[in-house]
Structure 1
């Protein structure tokens, strides 16, 4: 899956996408949109970005493993977003494609936790240190890391708290709505999901993609991996460019920002620093894919330097 050419947008709409993409801070975004506050600017930009990105993207259905391709100093980096739901269907699908990548001489790196889930028998699939890196930085914060169920590596020793109970309630409601799809139809399901998302999502959830649509698309792709492209495209529409999402999340929960969007930067740096292969495949959670791609593009454009990378541990 790659971005469309933008041919579905007129010149003004393409310029609008470029303006949002170029904003390096919420203050700059507010100035660009003439919003009354950074809060208003963030939510207005997310609505506009979601619509314009949706019309610019090509059809995502594929029996291949979809991904974004970024060229960096003669290397090709391919970022593949997955559900990491630990399903047999996704495991078989991924192993088939990774076998093909390795046979072609490519390097394969995976988000921390994914190797033990799907690739434990693959000697040539390498696990990145993004989770360990984030936890090392969380240790320097005054507050404990949040309980965040989207991570594939659990937090040891953390007791159940209000956040985890809210997450359980949200997922239970989303699951109930999703289970009624065949009875009520997709349109009604989507409407109920939007209503539930409005009431059950926090400001942090908005920035990490924890809404009903992502829940439903993730469940569908876990059972049928040919739908991964649809899930990937959803996250590309749901997330603003990384500087904006990261600033928004830091304002609300600095630890969660380290454990989510900040790891995207780490994974991009890790792959660029470690690999010398002509083609490098990165297999990451679909919610990480837009951010990892963003930071690889920063390397491509000379705005990041791999030499600054220091491994954890």
Structure 2
């Protein structure tokens, strides 16, 4: 019986990573009409390389669908301080989805939700049907680890990852993966714009959850804490709960797709021709170098 292996790609993470890796050297790899394509071409090459490394039977690319999500409704400051994407990147969001479709990859995203939520919902839906590998640069996804799911955090180039299994995570952090969102609730996340408990950093946040198991466990033992910690937490309990809601990946999205809809397709010379006609020659060249075209 076939062992199904679903590769879920955080499209936003790879697109941003690819864009900034080359934009820093002013290499925008423009198409004939002048449109920058560096992020798109890097993103596609990264995914193709991942296919050869992980040999999945199924593949999905998850995307944010706009900057405004349900988390902005919960908290005005959510991601409020993030700079707007550079002008050269703006056309590449749609271009990346177009290239994905051209190559037979399934794009998935829902307006009002983040790519993380799409990934989490896919993991929840198919964790009993397939081995799952998630590619991203976002450590928040570690809360999704389970016995059938591995998180591959981008490290260097297209081939190096920090591979996290549930067992490795428990050994390294001393908590279970779902408890990671509770750690984040205490320490906050400057990049996502929620403060957690001011004055409590990652080390203390982790120690609190290791010791008391949960936010409710900490609050139930508040008198056992150091006076300074007690004061900080009691002053910001509402924000603590809000930060937990913001940090928790929503895993209950309705996914109309079936697992078989995500089955990988073989590449053909037609794919190469379409890529080259549209100006994506680096992707076609990379595919040939991998031996998939």
TM-score over 0.5 for the alignment? no
Which structure has greater helix proportion? 1
Name the larger-Rg structure.
Answer: 2
TM-score with structure 2 setting the length: 0.28
Structure of higher RCO (CA pairs closer than 8 Å, 6+ residues apart): 1
